[in-house]
Structure 1
C-alpha cells in the first residue's frame, strides 16, 4: 500500500463538519481517518492534506495541484467542483475538462488517484433541485476515472449518505458518522485493511410536515442565509484558512 498520501480539495476533504479540536484546523474528517488506517499497516507512512474549505475547482487546481506534485505522492485523493455546482451558473463541461487535465498530471507523475462522484440529494428538498447538475458531473467523473485508471468512490450510490443523521447541522457537510462512512468506502476501494465500521443507524424516525417546515426555516436562517450573504460579498469560508497538513509528515 502507498506510503505517501496527499489529499487535495475543498471542505469535504479538509474534514469540515467533523469538528475535533485535537486536529489541525479543528476538524478531523474522512481523509484523516483513511491516513490513520493506512499508517497502521504501512511502515514509514506519510500524509499531507492541502484541502481548504470554500475553494472552487479552478482554485484547487491553481493552488493545490503543483504543491501536491512537488510532494511526489504515490497516492492522491482528489475531489473538486462541489462549490461550483452550488453557484447560480456553472460550466460543468469546462470545469471537468480542467479537472481531467489535473488528474492526467497526477497519473503521469506515477500517483494512484482516488476520485469521487457527488452525493445524491434526492431526499432533501433543496439539494434535490441540483440532482441534474450532480448527475452530469458524476458521468464526467466516471469517464475520467476510466480514462486515467483512477480509483472511483461512488458516493452517488452510497444510500446511507442520503440520511440526514450523517450530516452536520448546516446540511452541507458530513458529520463524524458521514466522514467515517466515506473513509470506509475509500479504504475498501483501495483494498486496504482497516478497523472502521459504518454507522448502521437503522430506520429513521418519521417527522411530521409541520416539524419539518420549522426545522427548514431554522436551518435557512442559521446556515443558508449567511452562505448567500458571503457569496454576495464575494467572501469565502476559506479566505482565512490554510491547509491543515501542508507537508508530508507521519500520522500521530
Structure 2
C-alpha cells in the first residue's frame, strides 16, 4: 500500500525520543545544542513551498544542507537523552499530541533494551500506545525506526539481538498502517562502520546523523540527495596498539560512567529540558 507520506508537504514537525533524536554527538550549534538528524530533516522540509504537490529536488547537498528555511514551517524537538520509552510516553506524547504536528518522528525503547531485565512486552505496549495516541491526535504521518544491529560492531552485544529483533518485528507490524513510515536502519550495513559513530560507540557521529536524516527524507518520499546506505571508502588499517588504547579510553570515559549511572538509578537526561520545547517557526 502506498504510504500517505509520499509527496505530502508538511508545515509542522515534532520530534520525540531520547539521545538519538536529541542529536547527541552531532555538530554543536551556536546555542550550545547538538544539531542532530531531526534538525537536518526540519531544515530540508522547511524549504518546501506551502501547497506544493511535489517536493522540490534536493539542492546544495544532502538533507537540506545549505538551504534557507522558508516561512511558515514550525518545528519542535522534545527528545531528551537517557529517556526510557515509558518516560517518552508519559512526558512527551501528551505534549506532542496537544501540538497536533502534521509530521511526528518517534524513536524510543533502545535505552530499555540496554538495561538488564528489560520487559520487552511493556516496551512494545508503551511504544504502540504512543504511536496510536499520535495518530489519534491528528498526525498525518508518524515515522518510526528499527535499531541498527549492534552485534556487527560491538563486542558483547549478542545478548541484545533477540530483543532487538523482536522490537524490529513489532515496529514493522505497526508500519502496516499507511500513516506510519518505518526507517529500517537494521538492514543497512553502513552503520557497522565505526566512523558513523561517536567515540562513545552509542551515539551517531555527524556523518551518521547526516545519513539518518536522508533515510527519514527518503521514507517521506523525498528525492534522494545521495545513497545513505552506501559504504564509506575503506579506512586505513589500525595498529593493534591503537585499537587497545582506544578500547581503554572508551572503558574509562564512557562505559564506566554509563554503568555507574545504571547502578545508582541516574540518567544523563535527569533535569534536562528539551532543546525545542515549543512548536515554533524554524529558522535554520
Q: Please tell me the TM-score bracket, short chain as reference.
A: over 0.9
Structure 2 unpaired stretches of 5+: 1-8, 51-71
Matches within 5 A, 1:57-136: 57-111=85-139, 112-121=141-150, 122-136=152-166
Distance 1:183 1:50 in 2: 17
User: Aligned residues, how many?
Assistant: 251
Q: CA deviation at 1:209?
A: 4.5
Q: Is residue 210 of structure 2 the alignment partner of residue 180 of structure 1?
A: yes
Q: Do the aligned residues in 1 keep the contact of 2:98 with 2:137 (CA within 8 Å)?
A: no
Task: Identify the residue that residue 6 of structure 2 maps to in structure 1.
Answer: none
| Alpha-carbon contact 2:85-2:127 (below 8 Å) kept | yes
8 Å contact 1:37–1:194 — kept in the other structure? Answer: no
CA radius of gyration, larger in: 2
C-alpha contact 1:21 1:27 (8 A) present in aligned 2: yes
Structure 1 residues 154-173: aligned runs within 5 Å: 154-173=184-203
SS state at 1:26 partner: coil
TM-score scaled to structure 2, two decimals? 0.83
Q: Distance in 2 between matches of 1:42 and 1:53?
A: 33
Deviations 1:145-197 (A, max 9, x none): 21464100001012211111011111110011000000000001101257577
Moved more, 124-133 or 76-85: 124-133
CA contact (8 A) 1:117 1:155 kept: yes
Q: Secondary structure at the match of 1:180?
A: helix
Map 1:28-47; keep pairs closer than 5 Å.
28-43=35-50, 44-47=72-75
Larger deviation: 119-128 or 233-242? Answer: 119-128
Task: Give 5+ residue unaligned stretches, structure 1.
Answer: none
Which residue of the other structure, out of 14, 19, 26, is the alignment partner of 2:22? 14
| TM-score of the pair, normalised by structure 1 | 0.93
Query: Could you list the per-position Cα deviations for residues 192-239 of structure 1 after superposition, in whole angstroms to 9, with x for gaps in the alignment?
Result: 257577586311333355543332222111100001111112111101
Distance in 2 (CA, whole Å) between partners of 1:133 and 1:93 is: 10
